[in-house]
């Protein structure tokens, strides 16, 4: 059983896959380590690689706005991380072997946080963590339960920036999330 410090140290010096070669920073995660709600994206982009924090580029700013709209905050009541902790070159999808090399860190983070709700952001994270045949455009906003943890795929904020017609549906997912939080972990809202 490793501690946060041990896992983070190991991750920050990780050389388990080729993504270590070009990274500026390992992007481990941000937020409350006691959060009841965890958000998981696919992998760092350019800004995240530079700053060492997940979702700090344009997509991240949109994510922050949507969180704010339902009284969530990356520094207060959620934890945010990615499937892979190093930036894939040219922002390509992380490959299966890269995901496999990295997923142990996410498992350890999840074990320590013990969230009640896990939100996946985008197709890659949804397929990896919820089901391999996930159809994200059709199934975003639906919730399944696995071993007492509620799992919800959402559209990726970067995809929303490219296709604004999906914005309303994406916002609706956050309203569904808010209701689920009120139901299973109302303490998040001080209820
Ligand atoms: N996209 C992701 O999936 N994760 C980030 O941290 C940034 C952009």
- Chain segment 37-66, per-residue pLDDT in tens: 999 999 999 999 999 999 999 999 999 999
88 lines ligand 1 (CB under 6 A): no
**Ligand 1 centroid, distance to 146 Cα (angstroms):** 24
Fold classified for 4-184? Uracil-DNA Glycosylase, subunit E (3.40.470)
Closest atom of ligand 1 to 122 CA is 3
DSSP class of residue 95? Answer: P
| Most informative mutation of 30, 39, 121 for ligand 1 (most atoms within 8 A of CB) | 121
Q: Is the pLDDT of residue 1 over 90?
A: no
- Per-residue pLDDT tens over the stretch 90-110: 999 999 999 999 999 999 999
Dihedral angle of Cα 53, 96, 130, 149, to the nearest 10 degrees: -50
The sign one gets for the Cα dihedral 136, 141, 144, 150 is positive
Max Cα-Cα span within the chain:
46
**Ligand 1 centroid, distance to 48 Cα (angstroms):** 7
**Residue 157: its pLDDT value, please?**
98
Half-sphere exposure in the Cβ direction for 180 (13 Å, CA)? 22
Q: Is the pLDDT of residue 22 over 90?
A: yes
| Residues 4-29, mean pLDDT to the nearest whole number | 98
Within the chain, residue ranges assigned H as helices are: 4-12, 46-51, 58-69, 96-113, 123-129, 136-139, 157-162, 167-184
| Most informative mutation of 28, 51, 54 for ligand 1 (most atoms within 8 A of CB) | 54
**Residue 156: its pLDDT value, please?**
98
DSSP class of residue 171? Answer: H
**Ligand 1 centroid, distance to 183 Cα (angstroms):** 28
157 lines ligand 1 (CB under 6 A): no
DSSP 3-state of 96 = helix
Closest atom of ligand 1 to 42 CA is 3
Contact 44, 57 (CB under 8 A): no
Structural element, H or E, at residue 79: strand 78-82
The domain locations on the chain are 4-184
């Amino acid at each position: 059983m490793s501690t946060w410090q041990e896992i983070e140290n190991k991750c920050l010096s990780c050389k388990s896959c080729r993504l270590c070669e070009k990274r500026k920073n390992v992007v481990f995660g941000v937020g409350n380590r006691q959060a009841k709600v965890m958000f998981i994206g696919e992998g760092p982009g350019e800004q995240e690689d530079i700053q060492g924090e997940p979702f700090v580029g344009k997509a991240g700013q949109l994510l922050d706005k949507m969180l704010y709209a339902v009284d969530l905050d990356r520094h207060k009541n959620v934890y945010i991380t990615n499937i892979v902790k190093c930036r894939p070159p040219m922002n390509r999808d992380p490959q299966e072997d890269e995901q496999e090399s990295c997923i142990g860190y996410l498992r350890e983070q999840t074990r320590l946080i013990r969230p009640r709700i896990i939100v996946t952001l985008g197709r890659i994270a949804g397929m990896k963590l919820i089901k391999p045949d996930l159809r994200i455009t059709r199934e975003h906003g639906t919730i399944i339960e696995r071993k007492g943890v509620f799992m919800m795929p959402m559209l990726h904020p970067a995809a929303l920036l490219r296709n604004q017609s999906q914005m309303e549906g994406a916002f609706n997912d956050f309203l569904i999330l808010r209701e689920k939080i009120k139901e299973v972990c109302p303490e998040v809202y001080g209820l």
